[in-house]
Amino acid sequence: MKRKLLKVLLPMFLTVMLVLSIVACGREAKATENNPSDTIVGADVDTNDSDDSKNSDDNTDSDKTDEDNNDEDDNIDGTGEYDPNKTFVENHGALKVDGANLVDKNGNKVQLYGMSTHGIAWFPDYVNYDTFKYLRDEWGNNCIRLAMYTEEYAGYTSGGDKNKLKELVSNGVDYATDLGMYVIIDWHILNDQTPMRHKDEAKDFFDEMSKKYKDYDNVIYEICNEPNGQGTWDEITRYANEVIPVIRANDPDAIILVGTPTWSQEVDKPAASPLNFDNVMYVLHFYAATHTDWLRQRMQEAINAGTPIFISEFGLCEASGNGAINKGESDKWKKIIEDNNISFMCWNLANKDETSSIIKSGCNKLSGWSDNELKEEGLYMKDWFKSKMGN
């Protein structure tokens, strides 16, 4: 009887236990589904890693931007940008000629402008550090021209004190260099007519100067101021072909200015028959009350033909250096100069009793001139120069 009962109850017991086990497993599975805490914790870690990675990328980009900005600051001059903490020469360095343009060490167009001295044998006091500094700081000049007459009274080839004249030139170069200005050494022929007349003296002079200043980025050589009369383009070419190699033997890349016939007005001649040298520019001179549209047109045509022009001397009055100033013509010259980015040097820095000297003859100051101490040309040029400050 007991065995029969056991046979009946045992399968039932096992069945109940199996059911209970299935139910228990189902509840455990349900509990796990409703409380996936392990999965959530894992997701938080992954999310944080992802955010950290994103923040890390953002920081890297930010750091890279800062580094790029720092590189730009460190290399501001190398990118061709103007650094106000540097002098003009430090910013622009050794110049060269590119087509019709004067360009700086970065290949950017550059314009030189400032005052030309009168004859340094006659007005030596203006070859002065304080004078140049005032012109730089107050008028914005970036260049000075040292005019050394050759055949005129007390000139280099006519009985003048050669050592004294060379000392004045050297002082002028030193002052300009200390101030970060460019400087033109001008072999100022006039009564000589043709530069061939004193060719040998010129070769000796420029040999000495170019040896002395071969490592200077700011020195420019003007080898013949105003050929005239017998100073044809053929004569000038012969002269240049002898003098320029002397300079190039010492200073291979310096800018050299070459005067043109008829008091440096015939820039059409080098436009048609240029010299076979690099870094050469051709000189044009004008006096606004005498030289008008016809000379501006000649200059523009030469520029359009690819001729590099440098105006190393000009005035606002008549070609004699006297007479009335013609403001209307001066304004036209100013416009064509600025439109073409031509370098220009105004004649002259002195208190001589003539219209073209910018300082009144009764004023002996070497700097700090008031408007009442400047002549009309001085006032005009002061305004023009100052309008360019910061450019």
Residues that are catalytic: 226, 313
Q: At what angle do helices 199-212 and 233-250 cross, to 10 degrees?
A: 30
Q: How far apart are CA 233 and CA 239, in angstroms?
A: 10
DSSP code, position 147: E
Burial class, 193, CB count within 10 angstroms (exposed 0-12 / middle 13-18 / buried 19+): middle
> Radius of gyration of the chain from Cα atoms?
40
Distances in Å between the Cα of 222 and the Cα atoms of 24, 39, 277 are 109, 86, 14
Length of the chain: 391
Q: How far apart are CA 281 and CA 101, in angstroms?
A: 9
Amino acid at site 135: L
8 Å CB contact between 154 and 144: no
Q: How far apart are CA 41 and CA 39, in angstroms?
A: 6
List the beta bridge partners of residue 310: 283, 343
Cα–Cα–Cα angle for 363, 369, 375, rounded to 5 degrees: 65
Distances in Å between the Cα of 358 and the Cα atoms of 142, 335, 352, 384 are 18, 21, 8, 13
Q: How far apart are CA 388 and CA 113, in angstroms?
A: 10
Q: Would you give the end-to-end CA distance of the chain in angstroms?
A: 123
8 Å CB contact between 103 and 110: yes
Q: How far apart are CA 283 and CA 258, in angstroms?
A: 6
